[in-house]
Structure 1
Amino acid sequence: MSNTDCVEIDGPSRSALSLAVISRHSASSTEDNIPFIPATLTVSNLHYEVIIKERCNNAWKKFSKKHNRVQKALIANVSLMAAPGRVLAIMGPSGSGKTTLLDMIANRRVRHIGKDKGEILLNGFPVKQYGSVSRRLFGYVAQHNDLMETFTVQEILTFAAKMRLPRSMSDQDKIARVYAVMQELNLTHIKDTKVGGTLMRGISGGEKRRVIVAEELLSSPSILLLDEPTSGLSSTDALNIVKVIKGLAAKGRTVIMVIHQPRSDIYELFDDLLLLSQGMVVYFGKAQSASTYFEELGYDCPVGWNIADYLLDLVSEPHETSSGERLSAVHKDFATYYSNYLSSNPEAYLTQLLNEHNNRVNKIEGESLMSRCKKEYTTEYATTALTQTLMLTHRNLTNLARHPLIFRAAAVIHVVSALVVGSVFSGLKDRPEMGAISFNKSIVLFFISSFLGMITFAALPQILVERSTFLRERAAGMYRTSSYFIAKTIVETFSYAALSVIFAAITYYLVGFQGSVIYYFMLVAAFVNVSLSLVAAIGARLESAEIGIILKVLISSVAVLFSGFLVGRTEIPRGWIWALWASYYQWALSGLMDNEFSDGSLKGTTTLLYFGINQVEILTKKTCLLVLLAYYIVLRVIGFLLLRSKRV
């Protein structure tokens, strides 16, 4: 963390920081080459709506008529202000638009789905005027802990620092920055501990959340946004993480956090509160003044109740409380009252904040923030595309080597399976009873291609895990999609090629194949990577591993059916002949067959004739290998385009 001064702001009268504080922040930022100036965020009449299908209660109409499409406002004219040094908590029932609002402020994927209007200002300037620099001004901590589980805390933060910090900083300064942030967030005692996950023990959930916060703090953002930072944590961890967040705000940062049903001692740490219901504001003001506000409306919080629980019950749909009292107010009543209160009361909290913010000091802050950020970050990314690719390749290789299942278990599966296959079909060339057509050797070739195509299924869950990490890091501006995909392709291609060559070497000599061993290795490696590229393309778009596996099974089953082995080429109906030529299994099996049986012998010629391979001129070893390489390239390009189109 840069050496910033502690900023205490007690209310709206001190929402604008002094120029002396700004200069001290600027001076300390110069030492670290990380621009940081306290920033005030203003949201004015933000409205966001999407098109949904209208519900139909009549069962017959559901089938007989088309559903009407209607506009639904997820965020309805929300206005707020978040000041430096203060923690703004966004609360509301489930479905009230809390995360949607946070995503809109951070310019996340939600803004690309529906229509929005309104203004989001940073120190008086529209955020869009900051251009690509704007995402460096916001730190966004998502609800899920998407971290590389095989890396230590220090390794994760060091990677983030090298990716996100300005090029003008030396590696030593970046490492020093990592240690400073770890010390500030109390992570030094676990710096050499692996994050861990489902397959290996690691740090706790609260510590993981602090690591993600630390990643965002490395680039010293002016605004820190957190989505449910206490979700899934124990009550003690939840309190500790909010205390950490409160400490960050006390040093001049603007903090906005979405939180659901905080315990009373956590609620006490909030400075300001935005209460939402059905996308509408029912209260915005000091957190400790919320109870007074609703008492004036005739809703007194019962003695001994957690005020946060009471407010959530109050703005939810009508229901009976534990005491049997029925709450009759609905969200529209509170929203309408707040709107009237805001427009008619000059002493309203938001009105005071806006009046105090519109002064020369804030104008200077805005200009200084924009100019310094654009000066330090002259490019969209802190590192070059080559550096990003090299660092991501190194990280992927390290993860591959450390992960207990990705490579080591896959290597064991390949070796064991190859030994089983090889021992079962060993010595086929020495069996005279095979006759004119080598059915057994044909079967083993078909089995090998089918097995290698199916074994890539195991990669899909890990691909989805890595994609979640990628989406979070790309949204933070760490690296380009192209750099990530190139690094991912390099590691996946060579690692699975190595595994397939190991499998091929064992089966080739145990079974007793006689074709070109080099071609056998090359075709098996190409085929495995085609199958893996299909899995990667599926994983680039789908959210569920289960759905992805079902889709891969469907595609593979059709490809196997039309491989030319189960159903002869001449027996395939004319309307399905396209499936034969589209089947990557067919090209792999044809290449393996031609390599093994094109020796000019009677048995080999008869086998090729039986399967119709030597009757088609293009079904040569060279053509089959080239077609598989073309499949590999096309599927990789599709995967890249799908991944790039994925919004966050």
Structure 2
Amino acid sequence: MADSCYLIEEVAGNKTLIDLAWNDIKCSVKTKQGTKQILKGVTGHALHGEFLVIMGSSGAGKTTLLNILSNRLQNSKKVAITGEVLANSSPISDIFYTNYIGYVTQEDTLIETMTVYECLMFVARLKTTYINKKAKVLELINLLKLDNCKNSYIGGPYMKGISGGEKKRTSIGIELITNPSVLFLDEPTSGLDSYTAMIVCKLLLSEANSGKTIISTIHQPGSEIFHLFDKLMLMCDGQIVYHGLAKNSLNFFAQCGLACPEHSNPADYFMEVLYLANSNELSKEELKRVEMLAEANKKIQKNEPMLTVPLNIDEKVYKSGFFTQLYYLLGRSVMRMIRNPILSVVRIALLAVIALMVLFFYYNMGQTGIQDMMNRNGLIFFNVACLVFCNILACVLTFPTMRPIMIKEYQSNTYGVVPYFLAQCITDVFADLIQTLSYVSIIYWAVNFNTTSFKVVVEYYIMVYLEFYIGGSLGMLTGCVFDKPELALASTSGLLFPFMYFAGFYRSGNLPKAFKWMEYTSPFFYVFQGCMKNQYEDFKITDCYVNPIGQKLDCDPLDNFDIHLSVHFNMMILALLIVFYRTLAFIAMKVMCKHLKNG
């Protein structure tokens, strides 16, 4: 337990000691079925130097309480919270609370292509002021017992990586590297075997002994782990039914007529006692048991000495500069693209398949006959559709996987939205440039595209590059708006098929006036116009069919498809559309982060 001797400002290892107290916390959420009360007047505390574990039945309000204490859940249109949370007697809304806390989520939000060492160094560079950051990271890796895997990839569905326990310790290390005064953890042992769970809990106990305040929800720990806990808080139906020393909990339940059977795991027994068949509608027996335990708990509560030293309300959260954030985010983004098989190998393979199809069906096209003209027109539109779709699919399928990582790091004040967004855009610039150079260089001369001048070739490279980038921009937009890849894919398909129809290839010139304006909203329209103008402006089809009365048919594809916009004008419009789509994506990302930060 924490020392009861308090100074005006008590600091251990450059860490401000913090005691938390919360009084009469109530929380209700609006649902389709009506308003549901999650917390019903919860009062408690957590002292520095202690390891407080929150346990309870499903739906008891454990995670909700944890999110309120860490200020991650706040009042909003759907959530109503009353009561107060105090840090050393100061309301957490009056101080730079995020400067003092760390939060380990239940899911390990780590980038699969980074190593353990790289994950910790990334946070150390952006959130700490250590002179020798590398030494500090290596010291923490040793503490976490991660030496054997420090240079191994985190891993995921598409690449082999470290074990679940090692991922969890890495997630804890990311929070510990900033040396927080208070550390919150949401079920850090879930999914781990008993031995690994023991390692994690011993680590948390060690951190508590160093002066930190550790608050964690844990789901059904083993008996050996249970006896490591300092303090225990049991919750049921949004109420606290026990809050005190873990070692005294068995005696408390025995006095309430609920003695734990000999040789049983106390944690398992408590979950059995607190189990509710239907948390929305308690039976009379369940309601009576919960009320009895809650009243008994109130009787044993006592006021413990708490730190009352005020925290500095003017203290600012350390945050690296804009260009530092951009530099390291850009480096991480490039590294992720190179190492991730979905972002690199699969995308390149998809482009290679498209290039092979083009070479097989359109190799060495003629330049004189009307059949050659039709083949050329089809290839131009095939390129437009395939290349845009190729980049959209790549972004839609990969961006949502980064979404939870970005949200967690943003909530932890690791970096801002602007540098993260710019890093993604800059990475796309160079990735799309490499793909453009590769693809066009493979097919352009092989299919006998227009080579009348160097200017024509360069313009086609630029048009294809804009195709790629506008596809990535649309993919980023839908990825920012929708958090699930399947929703993003469905919305993208619903958006792109009308765009394709109004591109001018399937129907042009004779569109009803009521729909004519829709052409100008389609990025495909400007890409198709620009590519057609680029390929046909300097040469004409000469071998035309003659109709029955001896007149030559119109062999000018620019007239046939009503191509009237210049190449440079189409390039300018596409550039403006890219800016427009990326701006919408940024706004969606900013709104998403602001909404989550405000609960």
TM-score if structure 1 supplies the norm length? 0.84
Q: Secondary structure at the match of 2:589?
A: helix
Which residue matches 2:117?
Answer: 154
- Distance in 2 (CA, whole Å) between partners of 1:545 and 1:155 is 27
Q: Equivalences for 1:548-559 in 2 at 5 Å?
A: 548-559=488-499
* Matched position secondary structure for 2:556: helix
1:106 to 2:85 alignment: no
Out of 556, 576, 598, which is 1:630 matched to?
576
Match of 2:218 in 1: 259
Aligned match of 1:336: 291
Cross-structure match for 1:639: 585
Change (3 A) 1:318 1:410: closer
Matched, 1:245 2:204: yes
Gaps of 5+ in 1: 1-8, 30-35, 55-69, 320-326
- 2:126 partner amino acid: M
Of the three residues 588, 593, 598, the one matched with 2:537 is 598
Q: Which has the higher helix share?
A: 1
Separation in 2, partners of 1:637, 1:500: 23
Q: State whether residues 395 and 479 of structure 2, in contact with CA within 8 Å, keep that contact through their aligned partners in structure 1.
A: no
- 1:32 matched to which residue of 2? none
Which residue number corresponds to residue 373 of structure 2?
438
| CA 1:574–1:16: 2 relative to 1, 3 Å | farther
2:335 aligned counterpart, secondary structure: helix
Aligned residue number for residue 363 of structure 1: 308
Query: Is the Cα–Cα contact under 8 Å of residues 154 and 178 in structure 1 kept in the other structure?
Result: yes
Q: In the alignment, is the contact (CA less than 8 A) between 2:53 and 2:215 conserved in 1?
A: yes
Is contact 1:282–1:334 with CA below 8 Å preserved after alignment? no
SS at match of 1:230: coil
CA gap of 1:592–1:220, structure 2 versus 1, over 3 A, is: same
Classify 1:20/1:135 alpha carbon distance in 2 versus 1 (closer, same or farther; 3 Å).
Answer: closer
1:118 maps to 2:69? no
Following superposition, the deviation at residue 111 of structure 1 comes to: 4.5
How far off its partner does 1:484 sit?
0.6
Q: Secondary structure at the match of 2:415?
A: coil
Letter in 1 for 2:211: G
d(CA) in 2 for partners of 1:580 and 1:415? Answer: 31
Matches within 5 A, 1:377-526: 378=316, 380-430=317-367, 432-435=368-371, 438-456=373-391, 457-514=393-450, 516-526=456-466
Alignment-derived partner of residue 41 in structure 1: 20
Q: Distance in 2 between matches of 1:308 and 1:328?
A: 23
- Mapped to 2, the partners of 1:553 and 1:94 lie a distance apart of 39
Partner residue, 1:52: 31
Aligned to 2:59: 95
* 1:568-613 Cα distance to aligned partner (Å, 9 max, x none): 341x344433432211111111111111112262569621111122
Aligned letter for 2:27?
A: Y
Would the aligned equivalents of 1:281 and 1:335 in 2 still touch at CA under 8 Å? no
Deviation of 1:121 (Å): 0.7
1:218 CA displacement: 1.0
What amino acid maps onto 2:10 in structure 1? Answer: I
Residues 246 and 330 of structure 1, relative CA distance in 2, 3 Å threshold: farther
Q: Distance in 2 between matches of 1:468 and 1:318?
A: 32
In 1, are the aligned partners of 2:403 and 2:483 still within 8 Å (CA)? no
Residue 446 of structure 2 aligns to a residue whose secondary structure is helix
Q: 1:392 to 1:544 in 2, by over 3 A?
A: same
Number of residue equivalences? 574
Q: Do the aligned partners of residues 642 and 334 (structure 1) sit closer, same or farther apart at CA in structure 2, a change above 3 Å counting?
A: farther
Match of 1:352 in 2: 303
Secondary structure of 2:241's counterpart equals strand
Residues 223-232 or 601-610, more deviating: 601-610
Give the superposition deviation at 1:141.
0.2
Residue in 1 aligned with 2:139?
A: 180
Q: CA deviation at 1:318?
A: 4.7
1:586 match: secondary structure: helix
How far off is 1:481 after superposition? 0.8
Is this contact kept in 2: 1:423–1:510, CA < 8 A? no
Deviations 1:420-471 (A, max 9, x none): 31332122135x4435x81110100111111112112033232122222111
| TM-score (norm. length: structure 2) | 0.90
Per-residue deviation, 1:310: 2.1
State the 1:554 CA deviation.
1.7
State the AA in 2 paired with 1:458: A
The alpha-carbon distance between structure 1 residues 304 and 561, as it changes in their structure 2 partners (threshold 3 A), is farther
Amino acid at match of 2:45: M
Cα distance in 2 for residues equivalent to 1:424 and 1:338: 77
Match among 138, 160, 163 for residue 101 of structure 2:
138
Do the aligned partners of residues 135 and 110 (structure 1) sit closer, same or farther apart at CA in structure 2, a change above 3 Å counting? Answer: same
The secondary structure found in structure 2 opposite 1:363 is coil
| Corresponding position of 1:542 | 482
C-alpha separation between the residues in 2 aligned to 1:17 and 1:620? 80
Contact 2:481–2:589 at 8 Å: present in 1 too? yes
